[in-house]
Structure 1
Amino acid sequence: MARGGGGQAVNQLPIVRPGLEDSSSPYYLHNGDHPGLLLFFNPLVGSNYNTWRRAMIVALTAKNKLGFIDHSIDHPRPEDLLYGSWIRCNNMVISWILNSVTRDIADSLMYMQTAEEIWTDLYERFHESNAPRIYQIKKLLSGLQQGSMDVSAYYTRLRTLWDELRDYQPTSACTCGSMREWVNYQNQECIMHFLMGLNESYAQVCAQVLMIEPLPVIAKVFALVIQEERKRSIHYGAPKTGVDHSVILNNVNLSTTTATTLLRTSQGGHCHFRNHTVDKCYKLHGYPPGHPKFKSQVSQESAQVHQASSAIEIHQYTQGDSLTPNQCKQLIEFLSSKLQAVRVDAQLANLWRVGFIDSCTNSLYI
């Protein structure tokens, strides 16, 4: 405490540089703020500038340091009390930016003096013109389909393009009814894009959403579709049969190999030819149509039928049965048809059996 010229005591307060203790000041640095801090996990490579720029603006706003890149905080003079605090915060923001870009880009920014200068240089280097990028985004939106993606991945991809496109569109601070209608129209466009890109299996839920009046927000529509997807995964999931197809295939291959080996080394017991088994012996099972001995076989079978019919007639007239001649004729026709059917079935079965065995043994019939 000091006294003035009139002898009165005058209170002298200690000089404190503003911003060092006030957490709301842009010059305030928290204990966790250090030059090695990484504000965005995905570094700037050039093509992702729009996404990187948006993430850095959000992070610097949370740190209350956005004024050091958008020229809202003036560079103080060296004699100003805030000069030292400004230098500290400016260098801190520069370190954060350098940590969020690739090594090559960081080398080109190393000798710039202010964070605002670095921010402007990156904008001029990597910022794309609005018209080509808007055209590219709208082209991607028009051709985007769910395809093999699940609903969540499809919606995430779609939402990323929407948000980037909205960033290029002019904004308005108007809160009148016209602005509300414009917001509702944008929401309707998002819903239409989302529903049109879904697979055909979601046609029913799309129809249900379109029947809602007024249309819900896009987040609610996404929730309805994702619920439908989860319900299908619970009720219509394909059950596991537990059958090991590899074991079955191995068994089939083993059986085929064993059968082939046996057929190749077998010797028919009737004709005594090699690779000629009883199963495919024409002499035992009959000759197929087209074989030279097929006609003689038919003649023999006809003779057998004739002999059988003659025996029936002899038996009829010698035994004095109660069958009439008409009944005997019907019986002979019935036996002949049955014998013919049995012969044809046997020939077809032999053809199938012989063809199957030939395909396994790759040998010729004798």
Structure 2
Amino acid sequence: MAILISSLDASNPLHLHANDSNRTPLISVKLIGVENYRVWASAMKLSIQTKNKIGFIIGSCVKSDYAASNLLSNQWDRCNVVVLSWILGSLSQVVYLGHVFSDNARAKLIDHSKLMKLMQILMGLDDIYQPIRSSLLTREILPQVKDTFVIVVREESYKGIPPTSAKSDKP
């Protein structure tokens, strides 16, 4: 027996009232940062509880519970989007942009970390490796750490340099 969305009563977390729109702000308080987080979080929690959607936040209303019904699964998606839009709509522009650009910042941090590891390796090489170090550092695109090891080992075997010439962190 199919359940009609219109037959869901207000106690069901999948029920959306006509006023529950993603265009309507849920609270008037905008999250500007740590200085007003407690007030914002309390207002948001109370408002979401009032709308009977707190399960979307705390994880007690999960999509897999409605997987048997395509209609209810789609309704869960719709409710989830509304809850997310309420939250995102209550963020200040600074907080919202910080959230949006955090993935980009994370990628830059990873790239920076890789560069630092490469520099540690190259600067840790004995002076005998100066030509290799200079060659690698003047490339338009720097090699990955694993490629650098391959280049150094290849150069060692080509020139007959004993492998112990490279500085080691191990005692």
Choose from 90, 94, 106 the match for 1:100: 90
State the SS of the aligned residue for 2:88.
helix
| Distance verdict in 2 for CA 1:108–1:75, change over 3 Å | farther
Residue in structure 2 matched with residue 91 of structure 1 by the alignment: 81
Q: Distance in 1 between matches of 2:66 and 2:50?
A: 28
The answer to whether the Cα contact below 8 Å between 1:27 and 1:89 also exists between their aligned partners in 2 is: yes
Normalised TM-score (structure 1): 0.25
Change (3 A) 1:84 1:109: farther
- Maintained 8 Å contact 2:14/2:76: yes
Q: Within 5 Å, which residues of 2 pair with 1:1-16?
A: 15-16=2-3
Distance 1:60-1:78 versus aligned 2 partners, 3 A rule: closer
Task: Say which of 30, 42, 50 aligns to 1:43.
Answer: 30
* Structure 1 residue 31 corresponds to structure 2 residue 26: no
Residues 20, 29 of structure 1: 8 Å contact kept: no
- Equivalent in 46, 53, 61 of residue 41 of structure 2: 53
Assess if the C-alpha contact under 8 Å between 2:14 and 2:75 holds in 1. Answer: yes
Measured after TM superposition, the shift of residue 92 of structure 1 is 0.2
2:6 and 2:98 map into 1 onto residues whose CA distance is: 32
Determine if the alignment matches structure 1 residue 74 to structure 2 residue 62.
yes
Contact 2:66 2:76 in 1 (8 A): no
Query: Aligned partner of 1:61: which letter?
Result: Q
1:55 is paired with a residue of what secondary structure? helix
Given that 1:19 and 1:25 are in contact with CA atoms closer than 8 Å, whether structure 2 keeps it comes out as no
2:122 is matched with which residue?
Answer: none
- Cα deviation for residue 107 of structure 1 reads 3.0
Query: In 2, distance between residues paired with 1:16 and 1:110?
Result: 37
Letter in 1 for 2:48: L
State the Cα distance separating 1:110 from its structure 2 match. 5.1
Tell me how large the CA RMSD over aligned residues is: 2.4
Output one character per residue of 1:301-342: Cα deviation in whole Å (capped at 9) or x when no partner.
xxxxxxxxxxxxxxxxxxxxxxxxxxxxxxxxxxxxxxxxxx
| Structure 1: tracts of 5 or more residues without a match | 1-12, 112-366
Could you say what secondary structure the match of 1:69 adopts? helix
Contact 2:32 2:92 in 1 (8 A): yes
Structure 2 unaligned blocks of 5 or more: 102-171
| Partner-residue secondary structure (3-state), 2:63 | coil
Indicate the percent of aligned positions where both proteins have the same amino acid: 33
Q: How many residues align?
A: 98
Q: 1:56 is paired with a residue of what secondary structure? A: helix
Distance 1:108 1:78 in 2: 33
How far apart, CA to CA, are the structure 1 residues paired with 2:89 and 2:95?
A: 10
Contact 1:20 1:27 in 2 (8 A): no
Instruction: List 4+ stretches of structure 1 deviating above 6 A.
Output: none
Question: Matches of 1:103 and 1:20 in 2, distance apart?
Answer: 38
In the TM superposition, residue 79 of structure 1 has moved relative to its aligned partner by: 4.3
Contact kept, 8 Å, 2:8 with 2:14, in 1: the verdict is no
Check whether the contact 1:40–1:100 (CA below 8 A) recurs between aligned residues: yes
Q: What residue number does 1:336 align with?
A: none
TM-score between the two structures when normalised by the length of structure 2: 0.51
Residues 161-202 of structure 1: per-residue CA shift (max 9 Å, x gap): xxxxxxxxxxxxxxxxxxxxxxxxxxxxxxxxxxxxxxxxxx
Q: 1:86 Cα shift?
A: 0.9
- What is the identity, as a one-letter code, of the residue corresponding to 2:29? N
Q: Distance in 1 between matches of 2:56 and 2:29?
A: 22
Structure scoring higher RCO (CA < 8 A, sep ≥ 6) equals 2
Q: Distance in 2 between matches of 1:42 and 1:109?
A: 18
